[in-house]
DNA sequence: TTTTATAATGAGTAAAAACTCACTCAAAAA
DNA sequence: TTTTTGAGTGAGTTTTTACTCATTATAAAA
């Protein structure tokens, strides 16, 4: 008799992970259109045939990676809505996580760049554009509510919450892009600098 | 006898401009690799053949667009170095220009996204990567000097100038990307919000 | 109306990239 | 050692896309 179900499953999971890691790297680095499946297979150290056993098409692979990013956004949104901590604490912790991630690795930055690519209408991959938009809007709305609450509690500066949200995520996204571009010349700003425009003096 | 030299030149300039406009739109929207020359020709309302009369290759076309962006950066750098106005005035004016551009059109945002694409090593187009890096570094350095001067004059907050520059351009770049992604949901923050982390209170 | 110089065309070609499938490989157990 | 089953392979096929070139269109002046 051959290997057990579990053994086979572990093998499949291992190769799938190799594919995902390689694809993420390349899609972010070169864009969907400029990445070819041969490169992905080479980077994952597998054959093209095996790649196609796991993903019906290059686009399906891309979509799955975008889904990971979406899942992260939904999780974040739910945390923001859980009211476990104060608005400031919630945002500070979020920024702190981003800071750590950006200082040590690039997982977070990669997911953000991937989101940007998926957003570009017909950016090669006809991802579920509607879904991406919906989730983004949800996260934006949840963050805006957090800001509104912070303003009511007097800890946050006044200002249009939606405008502040746009600036907040623009800054984070811009840092991810800049990290990719500058490579070792990139110097991550302190977490406090990223939120200073949100809080009142001395808070 | 046929048309005059000037008439022919004007014809060529007109089609070249149509190509550039169409290509800029598409490269920014879909990325270099996912944009095909047929689409560019269609958008420019010309034939593929004519496109190739003006540009030897898709890559050459892309490179010319990047060169426009580089020229803008060099101009900005020279203005920063000219010492015509105070550091705060120089940066405020820069941000003001960006603000107007982002409120009315997308020329500026497009150029920034294009820069990002050209940066991605081997992003399909093997642009003069060295040149792009050099010019970017020059602009960053000039901006850092401006900040240092502002700090010496006591108008700017203290902090690592390079770190502040990275945050400054990250924010601007992030806004450009966000504008592309959110489309009509994008709300441009006030110019003051973009520079608040640079200046001392009340300045 | 004819000539002429150059812009403009787009079917055709070559190259690259996505995807398939007939086959081999590996390891557990009989 | 043989059998079994599903992972893994990569040359080959199809599809797409960059690029070419023989031909046509245009408008000014002879």
Q: What is the pLDDT of residue B203?
A: 55
Q: What pLDDT tens digit does each residue of chain B (203 aa) get?
A: 789 999 999 999 999 999 999 999 999 999 999 999 999 999 999 999 999 999 999 999 999 999 999 999 999 999 999 999 999 999 999 999 999 999 998 899 999 999 999 987 666 667 788 899 999 999 999 999 999 999 999 999 999 999 999 999 999 999 999 999 999 999 999 999 999 999 987 65
Going through B119-196 in order, the beta strands assigned E by DSSP cover: none
Q: What is the pLDDT of residue B119?
A: 86
H/E element, A172: helix A161-182
Contact B189 A175 (CB under 8 A): no
Q: How confident is the model at residue A167 (pLDDT cuts 50, 70, 90)?
A: very high
Q: Which two tokens stand for residue B137?
A: 């570094």
Separation between Cα atoms, residue A64 and residue A69, nearest integer Å: 9
Find residues 8-47 of chain B whose CB sits inside 8 Å of chain A.
29-35
Q: Residues B128, A122, B39, B124: what is their CA dihedral angle, to the nearest 10 degrees?
A: 20
A59 and chain B in contact, CB less than 8 A: no
Which nucleotides of strand D lie under 7 Å from a protein CB? 3-12, 16-22, 26-30
Q: What is the pLDDT of residue B202?
A: 63
- Nearest by CB to residue A124, choosing from B33, B119, B186, is B33
* Whether pLDDT at A123 is above 70: no
Q: What is the pLDDT of residue A129?
A: 85
Average of pLDDT values for A131-144?
96
Q: What is the pLDDT of residue A116?
A: 94
Separation between Cα atoms, residue B174 and residue A166, nearest integer Å: 9
* Whether pLDDT at A202 is above 70: no
Q: What's the farthest any 2 CA atoms get from each other in chain A?
A: 71
* Whether pLDDT at A134 is above 90: yes
Q: How confident is the model at residue A111 (pLDDT cuts 50, 70, 90)?
A: very high
pLDDT tens per residue, range A32-49: 999 999 999 999 999 999
- List CB contacts of A105: < 8 A, sequence separation 6 or more: none
- In total, the C-beta contacts within 8 angstroms joining chain A to chain B are 156
Long-range own/partner contacts, residues B6-15 (CB < 8 A, 24 or more apart) = B12/B54, B15/B44, B15/B46, B15/B50, B15/B54
Contact A34 B122 (CB under 8 A): yes
Q: How confident is the model at residue A170 (pLDDT cuts 50, 70, 90)?
A: very high
Query: Residue A1: which nucleotide is closest by CA–C1'?
Result: C29
Separation between Cα atoms, residue B180 and residue B113, nearest integer Å: 9
Which of B114, B147, B189 is most worth mutating to test chain A (most A CB atoms within 10 A of its CB)?
Answer: B189
Separation between Cα atoms, residue A63 and residue A125, nearest integer Å: 8
Residue nearest to nucleotide C9 (CA to C1'): B47
Q: Residues A79, A83, A85, A89: what is their CA dihedral angle, to the nearest 10 degrees?
A: 60
* Whether pLDDT at A13 is above 60: yes
Q: What is the pLDDT of residue A105?
A: 87
* Whether pLDDT at A141 is above 80: yes
Question: Whole-number mean pLDDT of chain A?
Answer: 94
Residue nearest to nucleotide D17 (CA to C1'): B36
Determine the residue of chain A that is closest to B188 in CA distance: A163
pLDDT tens per residue, range A67-91: 999 999 999 999 999 999 999 999 9
Best CA proximity match to A115, nearest among A34, A177, A168, A38: A177
Using CA atoms, how far residue B14 sits from A140, A191, B20, B44, B58, in Å, is 43, 49, 10, 11, 19
Residue B57 buriedness (CB in 10 A; 0-12 / 13-18 / 19+): exposed
Average of pLDDT values for A99-119?
94
| DSSP for residue A160 | -
Percent of residues, chain A, with pLDDT higher than 70: 96
Q: What is the pLDDT of residue B129?
A: 85
Residues within a 7 A CB radius of strand C: A 1-4, 7, 35-38, 48-49, 52, 56-59; B 1-2, 8, 11-12, 14-15, 46-50, 52-53
* Whether pLDDT at A31 is above 90: yes
Q: How confident is the model at residue A5 (pLDDT cuts 50, 70, 90)?
A: very high
């Amino acid at each position: 008799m051959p290997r057990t179900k579990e053994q086979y499953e572990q093998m499949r999971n291992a190769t799938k992970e190799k594919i995902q890691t390689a694809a993420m790297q390349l899609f972010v680095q070169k864009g969907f259109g400029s990445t070819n499946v041969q490169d992905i297979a080479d980077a994952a150290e597998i054959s093209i045939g095996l790649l196609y056993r796991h993903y019906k098409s290059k686009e399906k692979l891309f979509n799955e990676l975008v889904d990971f990013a979406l899942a992260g956004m939904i999780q974040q949104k739910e945390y923001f809505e859980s009211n476990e901590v104060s608005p400031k604490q919630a945002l500070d912790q979020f920024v702190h996580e981003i800071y750590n991630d950006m200082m040590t690795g690039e997982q977070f930055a990669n997911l953000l760049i991937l989101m940007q690519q998926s957003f570009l209408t017909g950016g090669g991959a006809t991802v579920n554009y509607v879904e991406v938009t919906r989730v983004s809007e949800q996260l934006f709305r949840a963050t805006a509510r957090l800001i509104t609450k912070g303003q009511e509690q007097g800890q946050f500066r006044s200002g249009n919450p939606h405008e502040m949200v746009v600036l907040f995520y623009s800054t984070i996204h811009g840092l991810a892009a800049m990290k990719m571009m500058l490579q070792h010349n990139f110097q991550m700003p302190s977490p406090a600098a990223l939120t200073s425009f949100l809080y009142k003096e001395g808070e």
